[in-house]
Amino acid sequence: MKKMKTKWFREAIGYEIYPYSFFDSNNDGFGDLKGIIEKLGYLSELGVNLLWICPIYKSPLDDYGYDVEDYYSVNEILGDNNDLVNLIDSVHQKGMKIILDLVINHVSCEHKWFKEALKDKNSKYHDYFIFRDKPNNWMGFFSESVWTYSKELGEYYFHTFSERMPDLNWSNPQLRQEIYDVAKYYLELGVDGFRLDAIAHLAKDTSFLDSKLSKDLVLDTTKFSNRKEVFDYLKEFKEEVFDHYDCLTIGEVGGEASTEMALEYTKYIDMVFNFDTCWENGAYGSIGKSDEEIKTNLVNLKALFKKWFDACHHKCDMPLYWLNHDHPRVVSQYGGIEYREESAKMLGAVLLFMYGLPFIYQGEELGMSNVTYDRIEDFFEDVSARNLVKNGEYDEQTLLRFLRRCSRISARSPMQWNTKSHAGFSKGHPYIKVNDNYLMVNAEANLSERDSIYNFYKRCIEIRKENNELVYYGSFELIDPNDEDLFTYKKQYKDEELLVIANFSPKLKEIKVDSDYSLLISNQEEDITKLGSFGVCIFKKHIHKC
Ligand code: GLC
């Protein structure tokens, strides 16, 4: 029977947790599920009410859980299945919701399906994967060929990501049923939905002809991204599973997805994550470039947000985010690190009042910034960094500069709780080094200071909740779209209007605001005729219609 969809997520404020790096309750150096339970008070105090937990499944940790060894057990480093049930219950008791990351494009090569597939070409599991006699010139996302030779079978298997993460063959109906069963299992356990990992890649160009983009190995995403069969699979997934639960489904569709595709995707799932707004400073793939060449183009950034709002508003829901566990820290990306405090508040305020379901990434509410390790090895817990270094194309200084700017490790360095050793994340030895700035940047200090970034986020979240209709359903208008420093937008709904003015530069900027607006929040002193470095002001007014 179909279940009524209540769209509860339209009132939610999301928070993403990378569980290995959040809080270590048993001091083995890795965060865990009990650690999340211990910190639920901190999260509910902040005001977030929807948690997205990155993969929790048993995994050899080549890609920290995105390589699933067993869909039905919690990785023992994180705890056990009982801890997951406790986490779900505890989250619900706090009046929050929880969604899991469901990884369905690939598994780990340690998964029993893959092991069976390698034993016997005639086993049913062989067709759960994609095998070919010959490789072609397609490159995957982790700087290597999508094909790896299996000496057991004398065939090559396909992997969009690391060679230890073989892709599943979604054209096989039996495999699809296996995945639907996994989803049902977790929905029955009580989770409120899923972030669906890497779903853009479920279907490949099955001609497997060489890409014409180059004679050499080349990343040609058209060969395995957003192909039309993906929509058939998602339609079936919806009919078999999602329609029967009041659940939230958010698909990760990556940077290649257009707004038209988003409308197609949202016939079957609630919303999609694309990354258009995450790299508008040229940092993506910027290896070899100097830091001076990396500059945020605010005019483009604003236009990208507008493009997505224009396409989705009133037509489909969408998530809002500055970053996730695959991106650099947003204060380092779009803020000014010398103005970390102001930047972090400004970025939080700009995000929280736009259209969509906001997701704060762990530590964003503390203004956590990129790590600046001195050794390349300190970035090696990320398989994509290891592969880049392995390729041997770049010298050490070039690699280090790039990794400090772009590495996924910046989002994954341990959450900074206090000034104790390892930032209070663990009494053991953390699996990733803590950011050196933890004595200054940590939750304890943030909680104790009235004007902290955390308290600013908290207040913005309260204001967002009080004005949710206006924010969610109101129109979005960019003011002075060509201004290179100011991000100014208006939201209007019924007889209310919200005005957000944010300075993305260190310069002092004059602003003019009509006297009928009242100030809701700002990250600077009372003078609102000027915006200081990375300043932000949010105003509201009632519109008197005659
Ligand atoms: C997604 C995840 C990323 C992971 C990849 C492979 O892009 O966000 O962390 O490495 O999929 O699963």
Rounded to 10°, the helix 340-352/453-466 angle is 10
pLDDT tier at 8 (50, 70, 90 boundaries)?
Answer: very high
Instruction: Examine the pLDDT at 544 and tell me if it is beyond 90.
Output: no
- Using a 10 angstrom Cβ sphere, with 0-12 exposed, 13-18 middle and 19 or more buried, the burial of residue 492 is middle
pLDDT exceeds 90 at position 528:
no
The Cα–Cα gap between 188 and 348 comes to 35
- 197 Cβ inside 6 Å of ligand 1: yes
Residue of the CA atom closest to atom 7 of ligand 1: 198
Residue 360's pLDDT band (boundaries 50, 70, 90)?
very high
pLDDT per position as a tens digit, 311-357: 999 999 999 999 999 999 999 999 999 999 999 999 999 999 999 99
407 Cα: distance to centroid of ligand 1 (angstroms): 13
> What string of DSSP letters covers 464-506?
HHHTHHHHHHSEEEEESTT-SSEEEEEEEETTEEEEEEEE-SS
Residue type, 368: M
The rounded Å distance from CA 252 to ligand 1 centre is 9
User: For residue 546, what pLDDT band results from cuts at 50, 70 and 90?
Assistant: low
Question: What DSSP string describes 171-195?
Answer: T-HHHHHHHHHHHHHHHHHT--EEE
Specify the pLDDT at position 525: 82
In this predicted model, what pLDDT tens digit does every residue of 366-400 receive, in sequence order?
999 999 999 999 999 999 899 888 888 899 999 99
Q: Which of 63, 144, 197, 378 is catalytic?
A: 197
432 CA distance to ligand 1 middle (Å): 18
Q: Which atom, in ligand 1's list, is nearest to the CA of 254?
A: 7
Q: Which domains does the chain have, with CATH numbers?
A: 8-103+175-206+232-461 (3.20.20.80), 113-158 (3.90.400.10), 475-542 (2.60.40.1180)
Nearest ligand 1 atom, CA 324: 8
* Per-residue pLDDT reduced to its tens digit, 65-80: 999 999 999 999 999 9
Q: Is 66 in the pocket of ligand 1 (CB under 6 A)?
A: yes
Q: Tell me, in angstroms, the distance from the centre of ligand 1 to residue 515's CA.
A: 48
Write out the H or E segment, with its range, that includes residue 423: none
- Is the minimum distance from the CB of 326 to ligand 1 under 6 angstroms? yes
Give DSSP secondary structure letters for 241-290.
TGGGS--EEEEE--TT--HHHHHHHTTTSSEEE--TTT-TTS-TT-TT--
CB 200 within 8 A of CB 256: yes
Longest dimension (CA), the chain: 79
Cβ atoms of 167 and 63 within 8 Å: the answer is no
pLDDT tens digits, residue range 173-216? Answer: 999 999 999 999 999 999 999 999 999 999 999 999 999 999 99
Annotation marks residue 133 as catalytic: no
Q: Which helix (H) or strand (E) holds 46?
A: helix 40-46
The pLDDT mean for the chain works out to 96
- For 430-462, the pLDDT digits (tens) are 999 999 999 999 999 999 999 999 999 999 999
Respond yes or no: is residue 436 known to be catalytic. no
Residue from 62, 159, 326 to probe ligand 1 pocket by mutation (most atoms less than 8 Å from CB): 326
Q: What is the spatial distance between Cα 55 and Cα 75, in angstroms, rounded to a whole number? A: 9
Question: What's the whole-number mean pLDDT along residues 211-223?
Answer: 95
* Per-residue model confidence as pLDDT tens digits over 465-519: 999 999 999 999 999 999 999 999 999 999 999 999 999 999 999 999 999 999 9
Of all atoms in ligand 1, which is nearest to the CA of residue 66?
A: 12
Predicted pLDDT at 519: 94
Q: Give the whole-number percent of the chain exceeding pLDDT 70.
A: 99
Q: Does residue 101's CB lie within 6 angstroms of at least one atom of ligand 1?
A: no
Mean pLDDT for the stretch of residues 102-118: 98
> ∠ CA(329), CA(447), CA(192), 5° rounding?
65
Q: How does DSSP classify residue 380?
A: T
CA of 17 to the centre of ligand 1 (A): 14
